[in-house]
Every structure is written in structure tokens, then in C-alpha cells.
A and B are shown apart, each in its own frame.
Chain A
Amino acid sequence: MAGIDDRRRSKAGLERKVPSPWRLLNSMGFTIVLLLVLVLVSTVGVIVPQRAPDGVYVEKYGALFGRLVPALGFDNLFSVWWYVGLWTVVVAALLTCSITRLPKHIKSAFGRSFIADPKDFGTMGLNARIALGTSPEDALTGAREILKRKGLRWHEGDAAPEGLRPALAQRGGLGRLGPFMTHISLVIILAGGLLASMAGSQHHQAAFGGQSFEVPDLSYRTAPGFHLDRIFGGLSEDRLARREMEEMDWRALPDIPEKQVAFEVRVEDFVIETTPEGKIADYKTTATVLDPDSLFSFVIEVNKPLVHKDYYFYQSSYGYSSRTVKRAILGVTAKDGGEEAAEVELPFGRRVAVPGTDITLAATDFASDFVFDIETRTAGTRSESHRNPAVKIDVYRGGEKQFDQWLLMRSMGGHSSKDEEYSFALLDYDPVLYTVLEVRTHPVMGVIWTGCGVMVVGVFLSFYVNQRRVWVAVRPGPKAGAAEIFLAGASRKDRESFRAEFKDIVDALKARSKG
């Protein structure tokens, strides 16, 4: 199959013309090169870590390549302009190829071509010419029966000169549309993907049990004006920073003048279910949707998101509160030794008397990553992680508060207690869990799922539906009462088995004429 360019070259003689963009997009050779480039580039994107700090690349690949990787955009390959550009070219090529070839495919799939000239039968790869001892009418009927038994649909054409009667038996024409559907489905998916990434929104929402949060009305994001402004406003640092802020905290949305609340959601509870062996079985957030239109509760799990009014709430992750605990477990030891340490459970904020002593304790504060600011002389937590947990206890004697003290879990012993008689140690604690839900809108998903559906159909048609055609022509033979029948067959796929099938048809016709 010589390319269009070859023909052009031979026509123009020695002159070599650069193919027009349209021709280029249409050519198979260009497609192959494009696919190859995509494969190679995407493979690099798999191997090279994405979105890592520049230092990582220098460390991994050396000074030269370590600078080349971010410079060329391989550190954020799937968003870099030229990679997106590559896919845009793919879409353009898909569209051009599909549109150009569609008329031909439709004609081939649904059109009815008849072969009226006996000579033309001879040019086909599979052909046969049989002299039958029956009338032309009978021969045609016979052929129709046999071909119908083979599952082919029969169409008769107008009579041709010399009393020749053509017919066509075919099946599976729909399969010719497979490639078109597959290609167009990819266009739909890619276009839909782009739209979805622009119009959709996502947001991490953390919540403790009993806490409720607002879900803002994000319908402004599907307004074209919003996107035009974003596109033409440019992707400046400022806007990118704002966008990140949006994703962290909806209350910081800069783009809408009035914040409108769509509805509220209250997290009732969050639990982590474990198996007896201690393996994680499930994450469950029980949430209530507080919408005047509908009030209901739902248990959100991974793979089971809550959906309400086109907002999707996914179980994303969880965390432990850095400022409070359910209860702290302390060890109380008498300073004069001899006595064993007693363990006391302190529900957060409640006073608990220590048995066998005259003191009462209360856990009143907690820091998951304890840090003491020397300047301001305040205690607090440095981060959300539980690297250096500490609890603050209030110590009472006879109903009066004596002092309060921070106990760090990591410092074993060596705690100088302000109390004369007893020393305290933080042994363990029950953290307070909070759930993190991912709240998303999917305004264009219908397009993408349609594309996927079309792709499934297209792929099925391309590979599992085979177009088979058998052309027939009957004319009166040299002798009266005898007929000549011409046959030709073609199959898009599975040629070996079609060859056998064609042979069967010919044999059946021959047998019929004898019997």
C-alpha cells in the first residue's frame, strides 16, 4: 500500500513536496511514528519519578542528566505542554483519519455492490464458475438457500445484459465500523478528560466525629466564563497558588464573590475495623447529609462513596488528632520506692482519683509532636505527626490544684515530677481519629463513560465481527435448461476458514445441481 506521498512523488517527477498537514495526519506512517514517540516518552515518565524536588534528580542521575530532566519537563511529564501537545496531535490525527475514511467504511459496510461482468469474477482471489444442469431461476434459488444456511443475508440486484442476474450475500458489515468507533471513542475520552479536569473540583475535608462541614456550591466551575478567564488570565504563579489554596480550604475560594453553601454534612463517627489478627478490615465514616431537601445517613467506605446532588464523598484517609486524645494512660510511682507503679486511665478532661493515694489527676491538654517555645514559654505541637507525644496533667490534692505538668511519652523515667511523693509517666494513649474525605464533582463523566462504551463496542466490532461477502451471478448457459453460475468471495479476517467455507458453498452447489 504505497503512501500518498509516493504517488505524489512519481507524479511530480524528481520534485519532493512536503506533505500538507492534512495529508500528514491522514497517513499511517505518521500515526506509527506518533505512537512510537508516545510509547518512548511515556516509558520515560514511568521510570523517572514524577514531581520530585530537583535535588532528587541530581542525586539519581548525576549533575548533567539531573538538570536535564526538569529542564525538558520530564519531572512533570504528564502535564508538560509538549506532552499534552502530543496527545492533541493524536486527537487531530484520529479525527482526520476517522472522518476521511468513514464514507468508505459506511459504503463497504452497508452498501450493496454487485458484480455484473463475468470477467470481473475472475479477478477476485476466491472465485468459481460452475455449469449447472438446472434453470437459471433454480440456480439462483439454490444459491440463495445455501448461502442463507451459511448465515449470509441475500440481496438481489437488477438484471444485467445477457440475462445475467447478480446477487450479493453478506454478513458482518457492521464490523467495518469497528475501527472508526474505536478511534472516535478515544477522541471522546480524551476530550472528555480535558473538560473534566477543568470543570471538576476536588477537596480534602478532614472531620472529627460530631463535626460538620459546609459543602460550597461549586456550580460556578461549570460556567464557561470561569474557564475562559482562567485560560486567558494565564497560569501565573499567583493563580496556581490560589488554586492550591482552593483545594486545601474552600473557605479561601477567591473567585466567587459570595460563598454559597449547597448543603452541610455532619460526620457522626469514624471507625477503623480490624481483624482479630490486627489487620485492617475496613474504614467506615458514618455521615449525615443535612440538606433541607433530604436528610439521610450513609456509611462511607472505600469503594462506596456517598453521592448527593452530584457531589461525591470518598473515604480518602484518616489521621490522629494532634491536640486531643480519648484517654491517657499514666503510670504513677511513689518516689520513695518500694511501691509498684499504679496505672491510671484518664479520660480526657475528667478528673480521676488515683487509688491508694490522695491525689487526683486530669489530662487537660495533648501535643502529638511536643515542642516548647522558650521565648513565649508556651507548649504546643510542632506538627500533625505523633513523633513526640506529650500530655499535660493537672495534679490535685484534696480538691485543690497543686500544679500542672507536661509528660513526654518518649522520655522513659528521668521525669522530675513537681510532686514530692509521686512521679508520673505517660505510658500510652487512645488517639482521637479524624476522617479525611475527598469531596469531588464530576461534571463531565457522562462523556467519558460514553467514550468507554463506544470503545468497548468498537473493539468488539473490530476483532470479533468479520465481514464476509459472496457475490453471485447467474446466466443462462449455452444449452437450454442449463445455467452458468459465477461466484466470488471475500472475507476481511480469518481468511483461512473462509476459504474452507467458500469451498463448501461451491461443493454444495455442485451437489445440488446433480441431485
Chain B
Amino acid sequence: MIGVTFFWIALFAYLAGMVLHALEIASRFASSPAKAKASGGRRGLRADRAEEFASGSGELSERSWLGFTAALVMGVGFLAQTIALVMRGLHVGRIPITTFFGYLSLLSWLIVLCYLVVLYKYRWNVLGAFVAPVAFVVIVVASLFPMDLEQQLIPALQSYWLQIHVTLAVLGEAAFAVGFAAGVLYLVKHFEPESNPAGLAGRNALNLLGSLAIGTILGIILFGNQLEGIDAGWGLEFVSALGVGTLVAIPISIVGHGRLLSAGKTSNYGGFVFGSVVVALFVSAVAVGLLNRKLGFLPEDRGEVSVFTGAMTLLSIPVYMLVSKVLVGLRDKLPSLDTLDEAGYKSIAVGWPLFTVGALIAGAIWAHQAWGVYWSWDPKEVGSLVIWLVYALYLHSRAKWGLKANWCAVTAVLGFVAALLTLVGNLVLGGLHAYG
């Protein structure tokens, strides 16, 4: 198979680069424990801003040989993947994007390209280090798909619009990946123990989603092969457990946290809220499952899934606690909120127009030429619309609130997640776009 060797070189190069970057960040931990201790490990926004102002640039531009090596390794991987792409492209006489493997491969390549751009523009900034894992995950997912090169395009794809539509869309998504990394880092930087119960609801929601995500991923990794296929029915399962869990968790955390504060105890807020939320979720999920056995209001296997979900979220407690600890320490090492916001905005400002023109407008023109319908509410079309709307939401939120809310970062993160879900959606959902 053409170019596959170079593809694997790239994959392992990205893995190595990612690991090296992680080591670099860990070494930063070790290098300034005094600084972290002095500020108590928790620094308010104001203290951060003050430091930025004083230092002038607000960026942590420490060079290290680890960081340099990491970037070098990523560059080598990038070259290897370029060779692979060129080889495949020459072999079929067009950009090889008609299969899942081809698309994901190109996406990861473009994300690494964005990584290199970010590294160049913002210097040895940790933002680049967080874009690399995204590229790695995408290339790993790509490797799971068959790598055969499809010489013969089916008649529906025989048009120059294929290159325009898919290439611009994937370019846009690669830029979104940078926005995603910036958004994640922004939220991490902003991760702050709240002394005011009024902000609890938002925190709860975030922690809840986090625990569900970790629980689900863990569960799928550990027990995935025992579950009978992925079915959209799961969604309602989660929603019912989520709803019950949230309703129970919020008052518990408000009351409990308030009690802790008044007792003068310094609370590990993240751990506390998370713990209470997860326990509530576990209880509610198990309750839903048991109730279902009695009353049978969900299809049978769904009831089992409910219990399973609850159990998995319980497993997520140790994982999340570890992550919390890391996050709190990491916060100090991150660039300023301004930089992160700017990096995120700029990448989305590049990506969104490309996505608009490529995914939506070029897609509509092509659909009109091929089928006579420029918009048919096909799952992938609506998925692209959802991605587009989420980023519109980001732009409007940013116009309204600027840096004052985490919400913008959340939308930036959700947008890219939506992009990835739309990508794999056609595996499951079919529709006009389900070619492969």
C-alpha cells in the first residue's frame, strides 16, 4: 500500500513529540516549586493579570532542549506524512480524501501544520504542546480505518467540487483544533476554586460533563467489547441519568460546600463538587436501572446500560482527582488568558470563514449540481450546520462578554468536538454522505 510506511513513521513521531512535550511541561513543574508554593498553588485572576502586566508580555517563553526536541520530532513526522500524502495523491491523481482514512489523515497533517504555525508565532509556548495531542489522537483514529486507496470514484464524487468542498472544510477543522486546544487551556487556566456559591451551577455542569466523559471513555476502553454496538438510544439514557444526577447534586454541593466554608476549612472545591456529583450520578443511574427492572419504561438493555454508566462514573473519581491535581499545578505554567483568548480567536477567525465557504457554500453548490437539492437536511449537513452555529455562538459570546466568561472557551471546545462527532456520525447514521 502506497505511502503507509511514512504514515506510520509520522504516527510514532507525533507520539514521541507528544510525550516529549509532556515531559517538558513536567520539568517546568519541577523547576519552580517555590513559585507555586508561594502563591499557594491557587492564584486568582487578578494576581495573574498583575504578573502579566509586570512582565510585559504575559507569556512563558522559556526555551528548553526538551521543547526543542519535541518540536523537531513533530517536524520530522510532518515531513514523513507529507511524503505519504504526496505519494498517495500522485497515485490517484487527486487529493486522497474520499475515505475516512484519507480525510482523518489529512486533518491530522493540517493540525500539525497549525501546530508548527502556532509554535512559530507564539514561540515556545505551551499552546503548541496541546495542539500536538489533538493531532496524535486524530492520526490514531485514522489508522483504525482501512488504508486502501480508492482509484475509482463512484459517479456521485466525480466532480472538481470534491476537492474544493472537502479540502476547505478540513482546513477549517484543523484551525478549529487550535481553537479547541486554546479553549481547553483557557478553561484550565481559569479553573479556580469558587468561594461564591452563586457560581456553583455552572461549575457543577462542567464537572458533571467531565465526569460523564471520563466515565464513558473509561468504560468503553475497559468494557467496550462487551456492549452490543453503539446505538443512539444511549443518548436518552445519559440524558435521564444526567438530569436526575444534576438535580440531586446541585443542592448537595451548595449546602455541603457552604458548610465547609463556614467551618473554616479550606476546601478542595474541585474534588468536593466532583465527588458529590459523581456519587449522585451513580446513585441515580443505578436507581434508574433498578426502577426500570421493575417498571420497564426503558428497553431492557438500556436498563443495564444505566447501571453500567453509573458504575463507570464512579471509576472516574480517582482519574478526575488526579487530573484536578495536575490541572491546578499546570495553571501557573500556562500563558496568560489574553494570549490564549487571542490564539483561540485568531484560529477560529481563520477557520470559520474557510469552513463556511468550504463545508456549507461549496457543499450546497455541489449538491445542487449533483442532486438538484442544495440543502436536504441530511445528518451530515445538519451536523455541519451545528458546527457552524456553535462557532457563531462563540463569536457572538465573545462580542458580548469578551474575556469575562468561560463560556467562549467552552463553545470553542464544543465546536471541535461537534466537528469530530459529525465526522464519525456517518459511520453510524448513514444518509447521503455515507460513502466511506
Interface string of A421-455 (1 = CB under 8 A from B): 00000000000000000101010010011001001
B155 with A46: CB separation less than 8 A:
no
A267 to B208, CA, bound (A): 61
A62 with B299: CB separation less than 8 A:
yes
- Number of A residues near B (Cβ < 8 Å) is 58
Interface string of A263-291 (1 = CB under 8 A from B): 00000000000010101111100000000
A459 with B370: CB separation less than 8 A:
no
Closest to A35 in B: B393
Whether B3 is near chain A, meaning CB under 8 Å from some CB there, is no
Closest to A316 in B: B371
A275 to B151, CA, bound (A): 10
Closest to A462 in B: B353
Whether A463 is near chain B, meaning CB under 8 Å from some CB there, is yes
A35 with B353: CB separation less than 8 A:
no
- Number of B residues near A (Cβ < 8 Å) is 54
B372 with A39: CB separation less than 8 A:
no
B400 with A28: CB separation less than 8 A:
yes
A45 to B364, CA, bound (A): 19
A-B contact pairs, 10 of them (CB 8 A): A28-B400, A32-B397, A38-B389, A39-B393, A47-B235, A60-B232, A303-B159, A440-B372, A445-B374, A455-B361
A452 with B361: CB separation less than 8 A:
yes
B158 with A46: CB separation less than 8 A:
no
Q: Which A residues have a C-beta under 8 Å from some C-beta of B?
A: 1, 28-29, 31-32, 35-36, 38-39, 42-43, 45-50, 59-65, 78, 193, 202, 275, 277, 279-283, 301-303, 305, 312, 314-316, 438, 440, 442, 445, 448-449, 452, 455-456, 459-460, 462-464, 493, 496
A314 to B367, CA, bound (A): 11
Interface string of B151-190 (1 = CB under 8 A from A): 1101110110100000000000000000000000000000
Instruction: Name the prevailing secondary structure of the B interface residues.
Output: helix
A1-B400, A302-B158 known; 4 new pairs, CB 8 Å cut-off, are A32-B393, A43-B418, A48-B232, A60-B233
A452 to B375, CA, bound (A): 13
A316 to B232, CA, bound (A): 30
Q: A283-B155, A303-B156 are in contact. Are A456 and B357 (CB under 8 A)?
A: yes
Interface string of B383-426 (1 = CB under 8 A from A): 10110011011001101100000000000000000100010010
B371 with A438: CB separation less than 8 A:
yes
The 8 closest A-B pairs by CB, nearest first: A302-B155, A78-B377, A303-B159, A440-B372, A28-B400, A62-B298, A459-B353, A35-B393
A438 with B154: CB separation less than 8 A:
no
A61 to B298, CA, bound (A): 7
Q: Which of B366, B372, B425 contacts A202 (CB 8 A)?
A: B372
Closest to B407 in A: A32
Closest to A495 in B: B342
B377 with A280: CB separation less than 8 A:
no
A65 with B372: CB separation less than 8 A:
no
A17 to B392, CA, bound (A): 29
A42 with B371: CB separation less than 8 A:
no
Whether B365 is near chain A, meaning CB under 8 Å from some CB there, is yes
Closest to B374 in A: A448
A456 with B361: CB separation less than 8 A:
yes
Question: Chain B residues with Cβ under 8 A from A29's Cβ?
Answer: 400
Whether B368 is near chain A, meaning CB under 8 Å from some CB there, is yes
Q: Which of B235, B353, B396 contacts A464 (CB 8 A)?
A: B353
A42 with B361: CB separation less than 8 A:
no
Q: A281-B152, A463-B352 are in contact. Are A438 and B232 (CB under 8 A)?
A: no
Q: A61-B233, A456-B361, A496-B342 are in contact. Are A35 and B400 (CB under 8 A)?
A: no
Question: Chain B residues with Cβ under 8 A from A46's Cβ?
Answer: 379, 382-383, 386, 422, 425, 429
Whether B369 is near chain A, meaning CB under 8 Å from some CB there, is yes
